[in-house]
Chains A and B, each alone.
Chain A
Amino acid sequence: MKPVIAVSALRKTYGAGDTAVHALRGVELTVLPGEYVAIMGASGSGKSTLLNMLGCLDVPTSGEYLLDGFSVADLNERQLSLLRNRKIGFIFQSFNLVPRTSALSNVELPLVYSGLRRGPRRARALAALEMVGLTDRAKHLPNELSGGQQQRVAVARALVTGPAMLLADEPTGNLDRASTAEVLGVFDRLNALGRTVVVITHEDEVAAHAHRVIRVDDGVIVADDRRRHVGVA
């Protein structure tokens, strides 16, 4: 099976000379379609930097990244934005919904940029909202929604274009227990439908949902457990 993510010798260095900070020091990683991966690690271990590279939000200092078989380094600005739009659904810890814009409009936004017309756009956005169980909140503004609801809107926005993978950076970091369960439930359902999911977390109960747990420390991968369930540490 063709990997959806294939990363080799990925490095990221901030600054230069004596003050240089090596966030990633040669990461090797392959993720196959349909996998549910949790990336764990202490803060400052480089896991967020890795996810930003995978989401094409940041560019590596060196190394190769093949997304669905395309070498990301060879792409220009325009092709990159197309990639972010069609192949990647990114979910942030702080939700990052566009303020003063209804839940429905937020979910529609990626489709606006992909050039879809109003009619089909609305239908797909409503379908995505239904998937996360927020059909009745479509007209609400982000500040009228709870944290869990906002994150579910963000999930709907991430999956509305039918991307190859969902990348989530500590999606439950700002949520209470009940909201966490809601969001993880959505991830499970999406993964069951065959969607690739990569989640960064430091909570074991989140990692417990994944099939595979990767541990990052000081810019390299130190453990890679392919398991159905991970025990409590």
Chain B
Amino acid sequence: MNFFEIMRFAVRGLTANKLRSALTTLGITIGVAAVILLVAVGNGASASIAASIQGLGTNVLNVSPQRGQSSAARPLTAQDAHALVDPVGAPDVKAASPVVTSSATATYGQTTYDISSVTGTEPAYFTTTNREVSDGSLFSTEDVTAARKVVVLGSTTAQSIFGTTEPVGKNVLLNSIQFTVVGVLQAKGTTGLQNADDVAIAPLSSVQNSLTGYGSLNQIAVQATTADSVSLAQAEVTAILNARHGIRLGGTADYQIQNSEQLLATRTSATDTFTVLLGAVAAISLLVGGIGVTNIMLVTVTERIREIGIRKAIGAPRSAILGQFLAEATMLSLFGGLLGVAIGVVGSEFTFAGITPVIVPSSIVLAFAVSALIGLFFGSYPANRAAALRPIDALRHE
């Protein structure tokens, strides 16, 4: 009895009960598709976060107050930021912008809109974060000095408040304070966790005296001269801030510095956990599919015990019976697996909740291999039981 004959018998066995075979296959299909899709979604989330952090620029340092600080800690101030731009003490720092952030409700005519991020800063911030205007202009250093109530809007914010109306030159109320829109930023896209286009950026002084007050800065955005000089710049920034905040060597700093790589590492470690979690859920569904195969094979074997008896009575060897049922189980799960891979790959072309899935090739190989093994592993128990029957016992079974 050759391989081809075994396959022919298995196909005949499966097509004898099409609906049942189809439903069993469905279990495996869903499992495999889920593994591929969910891992792809998790991976896509990581990829988009990585891309958006890289979009900030690889030469950026982010200085922020140390969280959980004692009251003795000194706040970060605009003076701290300006002290960092020092051609002698910090030759590798190109620019440093003080940043305060808040949120505000914008009102224009009848329209109100909650802006998720209102940033107060200085003009250098735009170059540090690679933002450019698509319409109008940025605000100037003079606007900062004079604390003029001007604002540059992100594209989402502008769209939400003004719709089709031209925003530049219009007055908008931010928490009842009137600002004049001077420019609209070019769209940058979603970062996965926050929308970089749902922002309003205004002069530091204006935001401080109308929205946030004069407390600590939320961050200082530091730009190094080149991508290679980031670590030098970080050392210089540390030295200057330690001196200004009176922190001795070995003491605990009341601020923290993150470069874009560290930022990336923190964010991706979070999404990796997310991916593992999704993968685990999918793996469980694959396992459940496998149990479905066992269940159906057990039913099939029980239902066909008489047929097994007939086959044994006319001389079917143990290996032929074993082969037939094992082939049936493996076919079910292989077919389900292939279908699952197809659905997973096609499904990854779509966008889920703003995340474009990125397929991990190893997840396809893994899911498919697991589905094939499930057929062999979960099919072997019922198949063995069938093959071990004595012909007379099988024939007497009703």
A pairs with B: yes
Interface residues in chain A, defined as those with a beta carbon under 8 Å from any beta carbon in chain B: 52, 55-59, 77-78, 81-86, 90, 92, 96-101, 109-110, 112-115, 157-158, 161
List chain A residues, Cβ under 8 A from B37: none
Of all A-B residue pairs in the complex, the 9 with the closest CB atoms, nearest first, are: A85-B315, A58-B392, A81-B317, A84-B315, A57-B392, A57-B391, A110-B314, A96-B310, A113-B316
* Chain B stretch 139-191: residues in CB contact (< 8 A) with chain A: none
| B residues less than 8 Å from A55 (CB atoms) | 313
Give the complex CA separation of A92 and B314 in angstroms: 11
A97 to B395, CA, bound (A): 12
Q: What chain A residues lie within 8 Å of B307 (beta carbons)?
A: 98-99
- Structural contact, B12 and A101, CB atoms closer than 8 A: yes
Apart from A97-B310, A113-B317: 12 A-B pairs, beta carbons within 8 A: A58-B391, A59-B390, A81-B318, A85-B314, A92-B313, A92-B395, A98-B307, A98-B311, A99-B307, A100-B16, A112-B5, A113-B311
Interface residues on B, range: 20 to 34
**What are 17 A-B residue pairs whose CB atoms fall within 8 Å in the complex?**
A52-B392, A55-B313, A57-B313, A57-B395, A58-B390, A77-B317, A78-B318, A81-B312, A82-B317, A84-B312, A85-B316, A96-B309, A98-B307, A100-B16, A110-B315, A113-B315, A113-B320
Residue of A nearest to B316 (CB): A113
Does B2 belong to the interface (CB within 8 Å)? yes
Chain A residue nearest to B319 (CB atoms) is A78
A84→B2 CA distance, assembly (Å): 19
**Complex Cα spacing A98 to B309, Å:** 10
The CA of A58 and the CA of B392, in the complex, are separated in Å by 6
Name the distance in Å between B319's Cβ and chain A's nearest Cβ: 8
CB-based nearest B residue for A99: B307
Give A113 to B306 CA distance when docked, in angstroms: 18
Residues of A within 8 A of B2 (CB): 115
Which has the most chain A C-beta neighbours within 10 Å: B1, B314, B318? B314
Contacts of A161 in B (CB 8 A): 315
Tell me if B315 and A114 are in contact (CB < 8 A): yes
Closest chain-A Cβ to B111's Cβ sits at a distance in Å of 71
Which one of A52, A81, A97 lies within 8 Å of B316 (CB-CB)?
A: A81
Let me know if A157 and B318 touch, CB within 8 A: no
List residues of chain A with CB within 8 A of the CB of B1: 112-113, 115
Known: A58-B392, A98-B307. A81 touches B16 (CB 8 A): no
Mark B354-398 against chain A: 1 for CB-CB distance below 8 A, else 0. 000000000000000000000000000000000000111001000
Contact yes or no, A82 B313, CB < 8 A: no
Min Cβ gap A113→B in Å is: 5
> Nearest residue in B to A52 (C-beta to C-beta)?
B392
Alpha-carbon gap, A26 to B16, bound state (A): 45
Complex contacts, A82 vs chain B, CB 8 Å: 315, 317
A81 CB contacts on chain B under 8 angstroms: 312, 315-318
> Considering the chains assembled together, what is the distance between the CA atoms of A2 and B313 in angstroms?
25
C-beta contact mask, B38-62 vs A, less than 8 Å → 1, else 0? 0000000000000000000000000
- Return the CB mask of B323-355 against A: 1 if under 8 Å, else 0: 000000000000000000000000000000000
Enumerate chain A residues within 8 angstroms of B311, measured Cβ to Cβ: 98, 109, 113
CB pair A157 B317 closer than 8 Å: no
